Amino acid sequence: MALQEQGRDTGAGDCAPSVPRSDSKRGHLAALVLARGGSKGIPLKNIKELGGKPLIAWVLRAAADCRGFDSVWVSTDNDDIEKVAKRFGAQVHRRSAAVSKDNTSSLETIQEFLTHHPEVDMVGNIQATSPCLHPETLSTVIQMIRTEGYDSVFSVVRYHLLRWKDLSGTGGVAMAMNFDPTCRPRRQDWEGELYENGAFYFSTREIITKGFLQGGYAAFYEMKPEHSIDIDVDLDWPIAEQRVKRYGYFGKNNPKVVKLLVCNIDGCLTDGRVYVNQDHELISYHVTDLDGFRMLIEKHVEVRLVSERNISATLRSTLNFPCTIEANVANKRQLVERWITEMGLSDWSQISYMGSSYSDVECLRLAGSSGVPADACRAAKMTDSYVCKYNGGYGAIQEFVEHIMSQGDLQIGSVTENHQQ
């Protein structure tokens, strides 16, 4: 759990009371993501794919799954962003040209939103450029502003950085700002400093209409460093890609123990093509994907492959995979549920499923964790699944396996006790 400081005054003057409100019901709380189409640093940054999904999708999913907002909105001036926002469940406010300029502030854009939506009493302004935001964080902040009486709550991250001031303006003379150079603090002996990271700003209508994003009875919420990331220029993108794979939120179905990986052969292990002649049927696969299977098997995870096609006994014998292969599968869900019963598993939460086609969608949604290759069908990508950078037949399975094993809150195979984060 991240830390919060109770009642920290941000120095915004007398725009609101400096004591908590006594009422616990404070009206309509709207999540609002500002997504202008004219980003200069990275064109159409808000819908550029990050980890297989549009950037804005990560925070929209977290906002929806925290179940604490009365409505979720995207404010935009762009048709493409509007389409993506609606695809991921948000309502869209078409902002005016007056608040779509390069020098328009977030405050001005939020104020315009409020003038068009009188039903909204509080706004949770969530930044699309913070893709590692989790529902649990938002739920805690919602409780702070709904029931603990805060007028504004904003996100911070703790840094242990020694700051200097350039006195000469040329880099020649400097003065220490937050430490004594003759007695440099050790990291473990210094609590560090809090910096706004811009992930979110929650405020009441009263605060915003008076011209502030922070004020009144205000508090900060300290985010975990691994969840705190901002994307501004191209150089930030590969860093964010790696961070979101390790620390991003991949949907409500998040298992604590993985016991079985089920993988569709067609389009995941292979690229979907079948080579035939009069006597034989041939498929190709990437050898690194077998390494992925072996990584899980060594961790006592069962691996089973499925296919809707017939796979001849000769081909199965030739493949010699270290796992069960089930062919001619008409109903994949029914088959996996039979395996759950036979293996004595609790439910779908202990299943990892990898698929690529429309027939996989139901299983992808049910599984505790799921993945799809980069060239999977659109319906498969729209599930709460990890979207690989690689296509089927080109290493996507190993990538998904590495993703599963990198998740700190998962346990693999024979471990039976849950590990709480």
Catalytically annotated residues? 184
For the chain, what is the total number of helices (H) and then of strands (E)?
12, 22
Among residues 287, 286, 306, 290, which one has the least CA distance to residue 298? 290
The two structure tokens encoding residue 289: 């994907």
167 touches 203 (CB < 8 A): no
The two structure tokens encoding residue 29: 């709380």
Q: Which regions of 148-248 does DSSP assign to beta strands (E)?
A: 152-159, 164-166, 174-176, 193-204, 218-222
Cα(376)–Cα(392) distance, integer angstroms: 8
Identify the helix (H) or strand (E) that includes residue 370: strand 369-372
DSSP state of 384: S
- Residue 324 has phi, psi (to 5 degrees) of -70, 140
272 touches 266 (CB < 8 A): yes
Cα(304)–Cα(44) distance, integer angstroms: 41
**Beta-ladder partners of 324:** 304
SS3 (DSSP) at 286: coil
What b-and-e string marks burial along 380-391, b requiring 16 or more CB atoms within 10 Å of the CB?
bbbbbbbbbebb
DSSP strand pairing (275-276 vs 218-222): unpaired
18 touches 219 (CB < 8 A): no
DSSP state of 269: I
Cα(228)–Cα(243) distance, integer angstroms: 9
Around 2, how many Cα atoms within 13 Å sit in the side-chain half-sphere?
A: 26
Q: Using alpha carbons only, how large is the chain's radius of gyration in Å?
A: 25
